[in-house]
Amino acid sequence: MQSNVQRQRRRLLLLLLLLGATVATALLTGRYPSPGVISPSLLAEDPLARTLVLNLRLPRVIAALLLGSGLAAAGMVFQMIFANPLVEPGFLGVSQGAAFGAAVSIVAFAPALWIIQVSAAVCALIGLAVSYILARHFHFGGWVLRLILAGIAVSALFSSGVGIVKFVADPMSELPEITFWMLGGLWSVDWQQARSILPVCIVGGILLFGYRWRLNLLSMDDRTAFSLGLAPFRERMLLLVAATAVTAATISISGIVSWVGLIVPHIARRMFSSDGRFALPASMIIGAIYVVICDTLARTVLDGEIPLGVLTSLIGAALFLVLLTKRRIKKGKYRGTQVA
């Protein structure tokens, strides 16, 4: 067992090195002075290249790191807490709440970026709060089932709200902006924005990381978790709030970026183990690598920017299909998780 722990730690370290290499490559990749990867020595010689990397690419790559690791960690937490590998961070009305908040602020206020961010984050948290309150008032089923049903209802409400806002939005100016925000992207991220989400991401990330082994316990049913000495309701709510806060903070600057929180935890479990001790950090690192790569592709492949959410969905869906159809992973037989 200890050798297994050491083996997994070594693999995590390798994954971290891969993340470092990905970040370095992303910083050096762009369309200046010509499309492709620039030499690091150019940074010393060319002040414009240095300014580009330090003031434009670096905050954007940091935002991509936070977005990827945050969504992937939140996805892992949601999947384990709900004991269901098909849920993702936007599950409890969070994503749709953020979309509604952004759409309303685009239509009702001047489209100042910070207003959109604050409105999206606030509505995402409202989504969680309303889901929680509704679940408390349902009179059937276990806590997890009630929360899932409440989340579905709240998402549907926010979704119809987005539809109404789109309907009344100016088709020439506001509607394209709403649509573009909902496709996701990091093109507008600067140092100020990256810094603004840093505290929530760090505090939330540390909390989720600290609870990584306990997530295994919280994936058991309530009665078993209770008999193992946990206060399952309290601990699940603590982690749900932390995961939602990280999700709300990151999507407030990126817009809706789908599939990261769904697909990356699956990949992490397949590559490492279902044990949260390894699956959660692996998920965070793989999520960061995934989003940094997608964002680099988004800003470099074409002359114009491809929406990040489009790329994460496209690649994520393809990966998902591969995972679902590939029956033999590593040396063992099929290790697919059961759907609760």
Give least dist CB 4 to other proteins, A. 8
Q: Which is nearer to other proteins, 109 or 213 (CB)?
A: 213
* Residue number, 137 or 167, with CB nearest to other proteins: 137
**Residue 277 CB, nearest distance to other proteins (Å)?**
6
Kindly tell me the burial class for residue 222, based on how many C-beta atoms sit within 10 Å of its own C-beta (0-12, 13-18, 19 or more): middle
- Residue (109 or 226) nearer to other proteins, CB: 226
Q: In the complex, what is the shortest distance from the CB of residue 225 to other proteins, in angstroms, rounded to a whole number?
A: 9
Cβ proximity to other proteins: between 16 and 83 the closer is 83
* Nearest-5° Cα angle at 161, 166 to 170: 20
Kindly state the smallest distance separating residue 312's Cβ from other proteins, in Å. Answer: 24
Give the footprint of other proteins on this chain (CB under 8 A): 1-2, 80, 83-85, 210-211, 213-214, 216-217, 219-221, 223-224, 226-231, 235, 269, 273-275, 277, 335, 337-338, 340
Query: Two tokens at 103?
Result: 């759409």
Q: Toward other proteins, which CB reaches closer, 268 or 293?
A: 268
CB of 152 to other proteins, least distance (A): 20
For other proteins, the closer of residues 41 and 227 by Cβ is 227
Q: How far is the CB of 275 from other proteins (least distance, A)?
A: 5
Closest distance between other proteins and the C-beta of residue 224, in Å? 6
The nearer residue to other proteins, 211 or 259, going by C-beta atoms, is: 211
